[in-house]
C-alpha cells in the first residue's frame, strides 16, 4: 500500500515550517509548490504528525495507491479506531438509530415479534427516516439494502485499512434487523424503567470540563448501570435505586430519575442532549423531559454513599 500526503509548501500556516522539516526528513519532493511525501503505512507516525500540523490547510490532500484524494479524517478515524482491540469486524460506530447493528436484537428483544419492532419512540423513527418505507399509518418497512449501502459508504476506509473488517458479517447482522417497525401510542407501551434509563445513557456525553477523576468515576457508574438488570433495587419510601454488579469489586451506584408530570411538547427538530455534568457532588443529566442523578461509591467509603443518599432524598 502506498499512502501519498501533499501540502502547499508556500502556505502561510504557522505549522508549515515544522511540516517542511518532516517532509524533508521523509524524502518528500516538491511538484508545482506542493510537497508530496509517500508512506508505506497509514499508521506511520510521521504521516500522523503531518496530518496534525497541516492536514486541514487548503491544498492538503491524501490518497491511497495514486487514487483520487480521500477525506483524510476518515482515514485517521479508521487508523485510530477506539474499538480496534475488541473489534468484531462490524464497525460499531455506524449506528442504526441509537445502537450499533449487533446490539439491536438484544436491546429490543422484548419489543420484537415475528420480525416486527413495536415501539413508541418517535425520535427513533425520525433518526431512521432515511431507511424507512411507509406501509400504512405508523407502520414502516426497513430498507435494509439502503442501510447496507449507507454502512458501506461510512466504512469505506475501514474496508481498505482494517484487517478485521468483514462485509459478510455486516450483511448477516443487517439481515437480522427487524423487517418492519410499528409506532405505538405511548399509553400502549409498558413503562420499563431499565429500558428508559439505558436509552438515556446510550447517547450520553460526559462534560469534558469535569476533573479527570470525575470523568473516570462517571464512566464507571454508567458502565455499572448498563450491566445491572432490572434497573436496580428500589429503596423503600424513596424513589432512589441502588445498583451493584458483583463482577466489579466494591463498586455501587445510587440513582434517582425524575420525570415531570407536565412534560413540555417539543418540536420535531428538537434534539435532546444527554450531557452528564456534576451538581452538588452528584452526576446529573438534565433535560426538559427528565432529570437523572447518580453517584458511584465503594464499599469502603460508606460516608460518601450516605452523603449522596441524603442529597438524593432532598431532590424533588
Conformation bin of residue 168: beta by default, left when phi > 0, alpha when psi is -120 to 50: alpha
Looking at the fold, whether 111 and 141 belong to one and the same domain comes out as yes
* Spatial distance between the Cα atoms of 183 and 121, rounded to a whole number of angstroms: 7
Domain boundary among 140, 169, 188: 188
Domain boundary among 24, 55, 79: 79
Helices 212-227, 193-202: axis angle to 10 degrees equals 140
Looking at the fold, whether 284 and 182 belong to one and the same domain comes out as no
Biggest CA–CA distance in the chain, Å, is 76
pLDDT at 265: 63
Looking at the fold, whether 209 and 297 belong to one and the same domain comes out as yes
Looking at the fold, whether 238 and 277 belong to one and the same domain comes out as yes
Q: How many domains does the chain have?
A: 3
Residue 190, pLDDT > 70, answer no
Q: Which three cell numbers stand for residue 272?
A: 435532546
Looking at the fold, whether 8 and 49 belong to one and the same domain comes out as yes
Check: CB of residue 202 under 8 Å from CB of residue 192.
no
Domain boundary among 162, 188, 214: 188
Looking at the fold, whether 48 and 33 belong to one and the same domain comes out as yes
- Which residues, listed in sequence order, are joined to residue 254 by a DSSP beta bridge? 242, 295
Looking at the fold, whether 223 and 293 belong to one and the same domain comes out as yes
In this structure, is residue 226 part of a structural domain? yes
* Segment 240-287, tens digit of pLDDT: 888 877 666 678 889 998 887 666 665 555 567 888 998 888 999 988
Supply the mean pLDDT for the chain: 84
pLDDT at 267: 56
Report which of residues 66 and 249 the model is more confident about: 66
85 pLDDT band, cuts 50/70/90, is confident
* Segment 217-245, tens digit of pLDDT: 899 888 888 877 656 788 877 888 888 77
DSSP 15-46: THHHHHHHHHHTT-EEETTEEEEEES-TT-HH
Number of residues assigned to the chain: 316
Looking at the fold, whether 200 and 179 belong to one and the same domain comes out as no
In 101-232, DSSP assigns E strands to: 112-113, 116-119, 132-136, 139-142, 180-183, 204-206
In this structure, is residue 285 part of a structural domain? yes
Q: Which three cell numbers stand for residue 196?
A: 428508559
Which of 70-79, 124-133, 178-187 is the least confident region? 70-79
In this structure, is residue 30 part of a structural domain? yes
In this structure, is residue 88 part of a structural domain? no
| Domain enclosing residue 290, as ranges | 193-314
Residue 204, pLDDT > 80, answer yes
Looking at the fold, whether 204 and 229 belong to one and the same domain comes out as yes
Q: Which three cell numbers stand for residue 306?
A: 450516605
Looking at the fold, whether 198 and 175 belong to one and the same domain comes out as no
Looking at the fold, whether 107 and 181 belong to one and the same domain comes out as yes
In this structure, is residue 297 part of a structural domain? yes
pLDDT at 189: 46
pLDDT at 164: 87
Amino acid at each position: 500500500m502506498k499512502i501519498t500526503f501533499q501540502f502547499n509548501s508556500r502556505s502561510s500556516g504557522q505549522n508549515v515550517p515544522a511540516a517542511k522539516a518532516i517532509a524533508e526528513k521523509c524524502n518528500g519532493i516538491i511538484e508545482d509548490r506542493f510537497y508530496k511525501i509517500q508512506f508505506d503505512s497509514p499508521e506511520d507516525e510521521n504521516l500522523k504528525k503531518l496530518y496534525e500540523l497541516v492536514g486541514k490547510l487548503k491544498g492538503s490532500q491524501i490518497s491511497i495507491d495514486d487514487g483520487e484524494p480521500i477525506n483524510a479524517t476518515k482515514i485517521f478515524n479508521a487508523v485510530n479506531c477506539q474499538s480496534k482491540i475488541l473489534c468484531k469486524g462490524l464497525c460499531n460506530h455506524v449506528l442504526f438509530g441509537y445502537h450499533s447493528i449487533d446490539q439491536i436484537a438484544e436491546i429490543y428483544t422484548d419489543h420484537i415479534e415475528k420480525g416486527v419492532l413495536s415501539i413508541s419512540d418517535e425520535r427513533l423513527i425520525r433518526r431512521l427516516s432515511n431507511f424507512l418505507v411507509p406501509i400504512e399509518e405508523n407502520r414502516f418497512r426497513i430498507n435494509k439494502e439502503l442501510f447496507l449501502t449507507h454502512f458501506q459508504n461510512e466504512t469505506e476506509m475501514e474496508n481498505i485499512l482494517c484487517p478485521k473488517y468483514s462485509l459478510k458479517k455486516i450483511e448477516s447482522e443487517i439481515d437480522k434487523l427487524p423487517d418492519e417497525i410499528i409506532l405505538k401510542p405511548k399509553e400502549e407501551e409498558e413503562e420499563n424503567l431499565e429500558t428508559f434509563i439505558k436509552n438515556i445513557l446510550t447517547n450520553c456525553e460526559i462534560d469534558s470540563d469535569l476533573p479527570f477523576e470525575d470523568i473516570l468515576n462517571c464512566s464507571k457508574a454508567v458502565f455499572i448501570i448498563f450491566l445491572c438488570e432490572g434497573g436496580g433495587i428500589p429503596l423503600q419510601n424513596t424513589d432512589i435505586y441502588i445498583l451493584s454488579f458483583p463482577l466489579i469489586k466494591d463498586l455501587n451506584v445510587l440513582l434517582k430519575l425524575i420525570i415531570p408530570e407536565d412534560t413540555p411538547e417539543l418540536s420535531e427538530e428538537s434534539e435532546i442532549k444527554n450531557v452528564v455534568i456534576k451538581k452538588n457532588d452528584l452526576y446529573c443529566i438534565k433535560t426538559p423531559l427528565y432529570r437523572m442523578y447518580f453517584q458511584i461509591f465503594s464499599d469502603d467509603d460508606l460516608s460518601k454513599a450516605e452523603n449522596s443518599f441524603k442529597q438524593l432524598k432532598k431532590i424533588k
